[in-house]
Structures are given as structure tokens and as C-alpha cells.
Structure 1
């Protein structure tokens, strides 16, 4: 991942950390949440009431907002029966109802915006009196995301990410690696275009968020109500702030372009502060601000974004100004060792923060290979490995054109004249071969005078890196808009529990629930006695309870499927939450045993 100076250690570190993550995921995989999910309602789904309630309450797994969405209650004919504006208090939405409503079936339909800026919608029904429960899906008719908006929003994010890499990374490369580049007209235009792309991407993302949340088309991007809803949200304010900071940074760079000189210390400090604001406002939206530890996740994402900008911005600067036909070898030899150190640090930061983000958003190897988010992440990883290969080609060119051979006990090896790799132990001035290193550098300095005649192979390899990096940015934009794997993976339950009685353990029960999602599930139950043989009890009872939502106990109807084996095909789980499956067994007239297990449903 270090464009011209990639070393084997970052690649090895990437693989080691990935393997460690897989092992950690196997060991710690369990319930987790990210996207907002409905966990309880009052009245409950399918409830039958004696009187019409004064309000309907919905509670989610994380803080939500209505934004451009809605929360409504409809009568049996589809007419609205709610009154006033719904109230949002953290993770709870309350919808007041009109008075004097008749006894009939009612449908609650909602489309809210979760903390990570994505819309979450659904519907459920309850009935007052003895009437028939309405079909919530048929009455609600909730709109899906417009397909054009679904494509345009990731495209706007990609534009912003690409601009971020160029607009921040190129000036950083000039300041850290190539001071002479401040005089390059091509580099100046590239940086200005990059910062303009950041601002344009922010504005487009802001405009598209309203239709995205509302399920509307492109024709509503300038709808005043949608603009006001987005502008009043933290997502909208942060996004616009990013665009304004990018324009401010472009303005601060103008004096430097005019005098074609590096910034003074005070100017560099000001540029760093504004660039840090652009990075932070990029990190402080989407998945990092939702779920557990949002401050920590935002900080990790900010480091990831900054490292990405340093690395890809260096690639852009190399292509635009430094790696060109007739390039001066001395100029190359002066910039490349600095770039080596910067890029090596950037790749290390990318690897570490990328692994941390993956553990938070994916959670387990099973989610990695069974969710859309996981497969997109694997594709991104494959492209990163391709980048390592392309960077290796660049490294070989640098060794061949700017490197020298130096003696080493037991043989000879090739190194770059500009300390392309880190100095190994024993390479210092006081070492035995320190004089050889000094001589090698002196010869390299002689070689550096004049121009490198053929940089075409180097340009091609850097161009490949840049092209693959563009695809990585596009995948990153899609990942931002994809529900995290943790939020979409349902893990079937398969557990064996000891049966407890007043006298202690007495046999065991094996339970499996598949797929452990809201709706119809299949339960298999196997009963064993103390000797491990399949047992046939006098009485068997299974119940489902969601204590936090005060649902249950719900009786589960079992059908015998063989000796010691029962099945509940179509066992209904009303909604998401942490459910308790309890088993009560009476083995004989005097022995009663119980067992229970908690499992997540999402």
C-alpha cells in the first residue's frame, strides 16, 4: 500500500491482523447491534384492546430521528387517525391519536432515520374490540428507496472521498516529501479540483439525503420540507460543515500557490487544523456514530480517513508532478525516501484501523461470508492486496534506477540509494560496513545527477495503483450506505442445556432455533435422561418470553417427531429483541425439571 516504497512488513501485518480478527470473531461472536431496530411497541403487535389508546409508542435499539420520515397510525381503510406531530425522545417515538375513534383494526406505519443516517421502516397492526386484525403490509404500502437516488447517493460519496484524497493528500505530500512541488501548476490545479470535489460531494449528499430518507425520487431534491429536515439533523449539519471547511482550506492555500513556496510554521498549523476538521466531519457520520462506543469509533475512522488521504494523495502527486518523462533523478531521490516513511506509517494506520472497524461492523467470520457488507469488505481486501502487488512493481523500478549494491556478509543485496527500506541493525556509521553504506550513498548521489530517461514503467505501475485505489474508494462509498453485517446476520440457535430439578441436574435438552429471525421459525427439541438416552416425559412445555418488552410467556405448540424428539414448525417470534426460550419437563410423577436459554433475534 506504500505506492513506491511498499515493504513486505505491511503486507504481513495485514495478513496477521486479519487472521487474528478471524480468530477473535470465532471466540467472541455473539449478539450485537448497529442499525436501529424496533424492539418494543405499545400497544404490541397483534394486540387486542378493550379501548382505543391515547397514543402509540415505538422504542428502537438506538437513538432515531424522524428527519424526512414519518410515524403514522392508519384506520382500517387507510385514513390517518393520528393527530399532531410525533414526538421523538432518544430511542422512543410517540404518536398521539385522535379521540373518539371507533373499535376497529389500526395499522402503525413508520419510516425513521437511524443514527447512521439510514432509513428504517416497518408496520404492525393492533385491534380494538372483537373485529378482525388488519394486514399491516397491505394497508401501509411503505415506499422503497428510489433506484436513481440509491445510485446517486453512493456516487456523491465517491466524489467526496476522491476529492478528500486529492485535496488533503497532495498538499500533505508536498509539505512532507516534495517541497519543490509547491511551484507545480499541475499540482495546484489538482489540489483545487480535489477540494472542490469535497465541497460538491458534500452538497450533493446533503441534497440527496432527504429523498433517500423519504423514499422519494430525484425530483424532490429541492423540496423545502426535505431540505429543512436534513438541515436540522446532525448528519446534514456535519455534511455541510465538511463542504465549508474544504472551501476554507482551498482559500488558505491560495497565497502558497501564488508564492510557489512551502508554508511557514504558522500557516502549516492553520492548514493542519482545517484539514483535521475536514477529516473529522467525514468520520463523524454514518456507521461510526451509531451503536456502541461512538466516540472511539469516530476517532478510529478519522485516523483511517487521514491515512487514506496521505496514501492516495501521494499517489496523485506522484502522477501529476513528480513521476514524469525526463524526471530529475536527484529530485526523485530526494522525495522518495520521505514518501517511504510517510507511506509506511499510513499503511500501518490503515491496516490497524481497518481491522478495528471490521471487528465492530462485522463481528464474526460467519457474518463476513454471509452478508452483503461482508462480501463488499472482502472485495475491498482483495483490491488492497492487488495494490500491494502493484506497489511492489514500483519498488523494483526504484531499486533498478535509483538503487546501488552494497556488500553484506554472506553475499550481496540491492538497496536504494535513498534508504528506501529502514536501516537494518549494523548499518550505522559505527558499524563494520558503515563505510560501505556511505560509499554507496555517495555513488548514488553521483548517479542522481541528471535525468532518468525512462519512467514509463514506473508511471504504469503507479497508474495501476491509482486505478485500483479509485475502485476501493467506490467500494468504501457503497459500504457507508450498506447495513453493517452485525445488524443483518441472524445466527441460528443450537444449544444443549442441563435440566435442573429440586434435587439437582436430571438429564438434558438440546434446542435448535432456525433462523432466529422475527416471524416463522423452526424449533427442534431433543430430550435426554441422565444416561444420555432419548427420553419420553409425561409432560413437556415450551414458552417464549421477551422480558424487556413484557411479551409472553407465549406457548409453543410442539409436534412429536420421533422418540425424544419434538418439532415446532412455524414457531412465531413476534419481533426483534432478546428472547428467552424456557423448557419445563415432567419426567414422572415426582420429578419436574426446567431449562432456559436467551438468544438474540434480529
Structure 2
């Protein structure tokens, strides 16, 4: 094309980009103003868990650490006879959820199960019991399941992974074609790769919107309704994804001339602005927007994501095209520039990742005591391996032998990409895991209440003992998987002993309330450091025993 024929095409591309931006602005204007908050946890309830009250309440009140949103039909109160005791729709006011209850439902033990949505768009679920007059056999609730569908949970992680992969496959070719691509080489291969990346990213964004409906509601893959979609699109999560789609549409019009040949400074600046804006849609739809320092978290997460896309996308272009097609003279000019880019990207990754980890993990102990912290540690180890390989590649470039003998560099590049593919998988899981700071937000319980979480290779066990004193005590056990989902249990066993007083292990009778929740009553006759042991069997062959020392006053 001549310069005269290129001008109308570029004007058309800019008009297309402007149309995409208008779609983005409309999505932003329609976005609701929602408060910024952290991953919510239940801090108290009335009646309290395991409490025995003299008369039936007319309402149950749940108080969370941060504002929550409703999931239709997922808050239920079951009376001692197994019938529904809740009446009408629960009301949501900031951090408080109020559920009207039939006060004539009778004496005995009640069960409440709930599922709500926290500010970072992750579902929060749980269940507990209380009694009117005196405890009875706890009812079961076969009509409500607050657990997330495992297929949907896996699908969400796969969609996140595809989104990251599409982003780097788009950013890498666009950046290299715009700044490093030799004029004599055909641009069709990288252009096709970039279009694939754009398509994968758009598909992943749409898939995330679809999956968010059953993910929040706790349904199956195809349990998607118009009302559910409306709820998702009306929140910050849906708005961020719609904005991303609008920005991708706007960028697509400017990418076509870039893939055909060099573009002017104006188009390059517009593309950079669109790309930078799109990066912010990831943190705005996840944990960073709900962190204790949202402005800092959103910025560093966008920097972290952008640095990843530049580095890994550039590696794909280097290993897939440049080291194979460019001659020695061209590589001699390209590799030093790329080496500087990679060094800056890695430095930005390290800085942004460190800041984000400090905010989300909160305490050193949370690194090893929470799933989120352990995933961060795994990511650090993998990243250290990548840095080692990258340092080797950089050393080859500095020796100025890589241009003449690119094979060692090419091998190092593919090793980097192989390890970082695993890092992306860990990241896709990490963004779906409640931050470690949330695990540290323990309910404001009285001093006489004991709670702890015990870990084994096949489950984690939350233990609650009330009042943790001499005499009668109520115990509640909750089993969870390694990714914090309810773990169905086939058999529960528990014992308590006080070796210092010569008290041998006492069996604690346990009654399953739900498939991951059991309770029991025990009389502890003396003060001291009691040794509790819990054996949980989750299948015919899988069981593990954990223990805890509980101070009894």
C-alpha cells in the first residue's frame, strides 16, 4: 500500500477504535458504585452457633466482616422437624443479613446454611446449628447445597489460565512487530499468533462471565439464567469484563495496520493506552480491588500482569520466530535490546509481586498456614527457577555469541516458557483462592471460646470448642479440602486426654450435621493442657489423624 491509500485505512481504524472506546465508556457509566472491602468472613450470629436459647427467635442475624451480596435461594433455616423455618426473603444491609424466622417452629435444634458473595466476587458459604429450649437431633437439609460445583470451579480456573495465555500471545507479537521486527521478514506468522491470542483472550473473558453465574450461585455448568446474568453484569465483576471486551474491540482496529507494517507514533500511543487500560480490568475484578490498600493493589497487580505479558510474550516471539528466522546481523541488534526489556520486566515483576504478597498474605505465618500462602511460596520457587534460566540467557547475550550461535539461547527460552506455563497455572488457582489476610480475620469470639485449624495431607479441620472450660463443652468440627471447599467425611472420631492429671483418652461422641460438619458434647472434669486427637476418614482407604493442645481453665 502507498501512503495515500494507507491514510483512509488508518482513519477507519481510529474510528473503529473510538467505537470500541465508546462501548467501554458506556459500560463504565452503567457500573454501580460499590464499596471496596476485603474477602468477607462470618464474625457473629444471633443466635450464636451452638447456643441454647429459651424461646424461638423471630429472626436470625448474620454479621460478616465486610458487605456481602445475596445469592437467590441459598440462605435457609431448617426447623427441628426438617421443615423450612425461614419466612420471606432475607434482607441485606451493609455487613448484616437478617433472615425472618417462624417463631412457632418449636423446640429443638435448628440448622442454618448460607451462601453469599463477598466484595471480591468470591462466594462465602457455611452452616451452623443452635437450639431452642434444649438440643435435639440436628435436622438435615437435602434441598440446599452451599458447595460450589467442582466442574464450575475447575472451569473458572481454566478460563483464567486461557485469559493469561491469550494476553501474552497478543502482547508479545504486537510489541515485537512494533519495535523489533526486521523489515525484510514476513509479518504473517506473528500476526496470526496475535489474532489467536486476541481470540483466546476474548473467549476466556466471555467464558468467565458465563461461569461466574453458576460459580456464585453454586449451580452446575449450565445452571445459567437471565436473572443470574443480570446480577453478574450489574456488578463490578461484570463491568470489568465488559470494559475489557470493549477495549479489545477498540484495539483490534488498530492492530490490523500494525500487523501489515510499521505504524505511526499516534497509533502506537493509542494502542499502548488501550493495552494499559485493559490490564486494570483484571485486578478490578478480583482480590486487589478488595484489599486493605485497593489503589496500591490494583496498580501493582496491573504492573505485575503487564510485565508478565511483555516478558513471556516476548519470549514466545524470540523462541518461535526471531531466533529461527533472523540473521546474525539482525540478532546482534535485537538481542541486546530484548535483554534490557526482559531485565526491566523481571524487575517490575519482582517488585510488584513482593508488594502484592505483603498486602494479601499479611503475616509471615500465613505463608505456611494458609492455602493462599503456600501457593505464593510455590510461585516464588518456580519464579526463582525461571530467573536462573533467564540469567543464563542474558549471560549468553552479553558474550555476543548468541547472534552467531542462537541454539543455546533458543533452548533456554523454551525452558523458561515451560516453567512459566506452570507458574500461570499456579496463578490461575491463586486468584480463585481466598487471600491469606482473610484467613487471619477470625471472628471476634470471647476469651472462653477456642478455635483452631489443623492441617493434614488430605484435609484441613476447623475445630471449635465452647466454652473451653471445666464442665460441659460443645465441639464443632468442619472439614475442608486443600482449596478450602467443604470436604465430605465418611467417619469422624475424636478423643480428649489430660496426661498431666492421669486422665486417659476419652471418646467424644460425634454427630454428623452435614457432610463436612460434625458436633459433639464432652464434660472436661479438670483444668490443664488437654490433648485432643481427631481422626477423619474421607473414603474407604483415606484417613488422617491430627491433634491439638487446648488450654482448659
User: Could you state the TM-score of these two structures normalised by the residue count of structure 2?
Assistant: 0.70
d(CA) in 2 for partners of 1:583, 1:75: 33
SS in 1 for 2:75: strand
Map 1:410-421 onto structure 2 (within 5 A). none
Q: Residue 88 of structure 1: CA displacement?
A: 2.2
Q: State whether structure 2 residue 460 is matched by structure 1 residue 515.
A: no
Distance of aligned partners of 1:297 and 1:257 in 2 relative to their CA distance in 1, 3 Å threshold: same
> More displaced, 130-139 or 265-274?
130-139
Q: Residue 134 of structure 1: CA displacement?
A: 5.5
Are the equivalent residues in 1 in contact too, given 2:82–2:140 (CA < 8 A)? no
Structure of greater Rg: 1
CA deviation profile, 1:22-57 (whole Å, cap 9, x unmatched):
xxxxxxxxxxx9532101122333444455444322
Are the equivalent residues in 2 in contact too, given 1:110–1:121 (CA < 8 A)? yes
Map 1:301-450 onto structure 2 (within 5 A). 301-325=301-325, 327-402=326-401
Q: State whether structure 2 residue 272 is matched by structure 1 residue 272.
A: yes
Gaps of 5+ in 1: 1-32, 404-451, 492-510, 526-555, 571-580, 585-602
d(CA) in 2 for partners of 1:272, 1:47: 58
d(CA) in 1 for partners of 2:234, 2:449: 46
SS in 2 for 1:82: coil
Asked which structure has the greater RCO (Cα within 8 Å, sep 6+), the reply is 1
> More displaced, 46-55 or 341-350?
46-55
2:439 equivalent in structure 1: 488
Gaps of 5+ in 2: 1-36, 443-447, 454-461, 471-521, 533-549
Q: CA RMSD in A?
A: 3.6
d(CA) in 1 for partners of 2:148, 2:398: 52
Q: Residue 277 of structure 1: CA displacement?
A: 2.1
d(CA) in 1 for partners of 2:450, 2:391: 49
Map 1:67-466 onto structure 2 (within 5 A). 67=71, 70-97=74-101, 102=106, 105-128=109-132, 130=133, 132-133=135-136, 135=138, 142-178=145-181, 180=183, 184-220=187-223, 222-258=224-260, 260-261=261-262, 263-325=263-325, 327-402=326-401, 454-466=405-417
d(CA) in 1 for partners of 2:409, 2:153: 38
1:470 equivalent in structure 2: 421
In the alignment of these two chains, the number of paired residues is 437
Q: Residue 112 of structure 1: CA displacement?
A: 0.9
d(CA) in 2 for partners of 1:138, 1:193: 47
d(CA) in 1 for partners of 2:177, 2:184: 6
Distance of aligned partners of 1:582 and 1:104 in 2 relative to their CA distance in 1, 3 Å threshold: closer
d(CA) in 1 for partners of 2:382, 2:531: 44
User: Could you state the TM-score of these two structures normalised by the residue count of structure 1?
Assistant: 0.65
Q: Residue 275 of structure 1: CA displacement?
A: 0.9
Are the equivalent residues in 1 in contact too, given 2:80–2:138 (CA < 8 A)? no
Q: Residue 314 of structure 1: CA displacement?
A: 1.1
Q: Residue 384 of structure 1: CA displacement?
A: 1.3
Are the equivalent residues in 1 in contact too, given 2:38–2:290 (CA < 8 A)? yes
Q: Residue 194 of structure 1: CA displacement?
A: 1.1
Are the equivalent residues in 1 in contact too, given 2:80–2:106 (CA < 8 A)? no
d(CA) in 2 for partners of 1:514, 1:97: 28
Q: Residue 311 of structure 1: CA displacement?
A: 1.0
d(CA) in 2 for partners of 1:582, 1:396: 58
